[in-house]
Amino acid sequence: MKKIFFILLIMIIAITGNINIAYSKGLDEKANYKIIRQKITELDYAPIRQGLSGYKYYDVSFDYNGNPMMWCINSDNSYSVCVSIIDRTKTIKIYELNSDGVIKVVNTFTNEFNRFGGFTKDRDGNYYLLFGGDEKLGYILIKYDSNANELKRLEISKKDCDTLVPFESGTCTLIENSGVIAVHDGRLIDSAKLLLEEEGSDEPFVSNMRHQGSCLFMVDTTDMKLIKVETFVASHSFEQDILYDNGNFVFVDRGDAQPRGYLISKYSITGDFINSCIPFNFKGGVNYNKFQQGFSDGNTYSQYGGIIEIKDKYVLMGTYENTVLDLDDTPRNLFIQYIDKNTLEYDEPIYLTDYKLNSDGKSTEIGNPKIIKCGDDQFAIFYDEYSVEGDMGRTYHKFLGIKLILIDGNGNVIASKDVKNDINMQLPYINKVIYNEAINSFDWFGVEGVDLIKYSIITNDNNFGKDSINKQFENQLNYDKIKVILNGENLNFIQEPIIKYARVLVPMRTIFERMGATVEWNSATSTIFAEKDSTVISVKLWSNKALVNGKTIELPAPVIMENGTAMVPLRFISESFGADVDWDNENRTVTINT
């Protein structure tokens, strides 16, 4: 295996160096990438991130109750979004959304324990929720059916998993594949205390051996039996991830001590250990002595971006302060590293950026890197860019925007773009960005106030994803106004018509009132009422159904609120008051005749 001693061998390879940044043949260099937002629903309470570790060194780790929001994409390209509000109501809700982000069903689960670590689903629609135990239990994995009815549970004692406090300073991950659940968690270990309790000591002994580290285990979903428990994987593991690859699980740790680097561990789904490697070391893998005062610096100076598989390789991605000395406040740069899937031998890291300190000591920083496989032979990397502002020792990070690098399976950079970001939204801090091939978008979820929001990065790049899907987004990425002509008159709007969910959405009140209808708004129920002659209409915000004279009609897209204006699908105009409606795609013009 090819060992890398960081100080001597890692080379900073700028994007103009060993990576070919020439655009692939036929790639549209003028293609746009744009971020959009979609409100899904209003939550009862906003989830609270508890005990989040600091940005710079022990970044992207959670203490206490883990991540309050997580999501996954299902085999039919629908979404499952989990929101935990156990700090207030001890409930967990999972929102099932179709590929357009419209709610199909909401399932509610009660947390009878104090801690919640995460969830996953299988192809049959069953849920698996992971909880943290009480005085005797370390982990509890519960299987539910698609209607949130408990089917079976697995309880793992603290002794069996050598865990005092689960979900401690880590990013607990669990996934399901081939009838097996794999779990990877950072938790607090206290082997000495647990041993004395087992021997029946009358007085509890508080040892000095409390230590954070990662563990992993695998569970057969058929009978919910434990397949494998590995009680110690990495010391001081502040980030954990899992990748499924052809009958194997690949576990990733970002550790600051043993090892001080990224640890890759590979197991079969039957629980057999296959191999491991440490492809990337932090500060040479050595715990340096701070100022020679007798204590070590366990910082990682890195942020994990993810791991994917492409052809016969794994691709590890993250950011790193590429300096030898600790406490050296230099900018982080983005790297990828190729690892052979079979042998776990690895190449030297390749740096995709080359940020440096300016002459005034300030710099541009990057954060929240995400790597996403988006096809059999290409992957995308997104990251946030910040400028370091301020002086006199008081600095802060100012968000500049989101960057994209698109790379093919041969390592060629085929696109390097800024993402148009009118809503000034950053990438998620911990959670992954997921690729939905059905609509060719990169998606994640968040909360604004108490509103559950879906964020999407979309593109009109004809060489990216499916051409038939790309065409649905061409108009959304075209920033020319949409014209609306009603009975020969060109209408003006405060909120212009938009294209969303691949549908033209128009301002309901303005058009209905110009058609002679009266329109009223009920804020208590978020319902819009319209009446004209003998026709009475009602529709709720964020619903894809409306009532016309008491009859329910399906809408091709939900009714949304855009800058304080209710927007309805164009087809709703014709289905409500019987108007003739036409959409001229080439000239971006709506014609309505009553």
Confidence of residue 502 (pLDDT cuts 50, 70, 90): low
pLDDT for the residue 1: 38
The residue count for the chain? 594
Q: Please name every residue paired with 557 in a beta bridge, in sequence order, or none if there are none.
A: none
pLDDT band at 463 (very low <50, low <70, confident <90, very high): low
The whole-number pLDDT of residue 483 equals 87
Comparing CA positions, the residue from 107, 111, 56 lying closest to residue 85 is 111
**Average pLDDT along the chain:** 80
pLDDT band, very low/low/confident/very high, at 498 (cuts 50, 70, 90):
confident
Across 524-528, average pLDDT: 89
Q: In what order do the strands lie in the sheet with 503-507?
A: 498-500, 503-507, 565-569, 560-562
CB 570 within 8 A of CB 506: yes
Residue 458: per-residue pLDDT: 86
For 377, the token pair is: 């032979």
Per residue in 386-418, pLDDT tens? 887 766 556 677 889 999 998 988 888 888 889
Q: How confident is the model at residue 323 (pLDDT cuts 50, 70, 90)?
A: low
d(CA 383, CA 304): 11
Give whole-number Cα distances, 422 to 41, 408, 493, in Å. Answer: 22, 28, 20
Local structure of residue 66 (DSSP, 8 states)? -
pTM above 0.75, yes or no: no
Sign of CA dihedral 472, 476, 480, 481: positive
Lowest mean pLDDT among 200-209, 232-241, 377-386, 457-466: 200-209
The beta-strand segments (E) located in 122-259 are 127-132, 137-144, 150-157, 173-177, 180-189, 211-220, 225-230, 237-245, 248-256
- pLDDT of residue 240 exceeding 90, the answer is yes
Query: For residue 175, what pLDDT is reported?
Result: 95
| pLDDT, tens digit, 9 for 90 and up, residues 327-357 | 556 788 999 999 999 999 999 999 999 888 8
* Residues 210, 193: Cα–Cα separation, whole Å: 9
Between the two ends of the chain, the Cα-to-Cα distance in Å is 75
| Per-residue pLDDT tens digits for 503-525 | 788 999 999 999 999 999 998 88
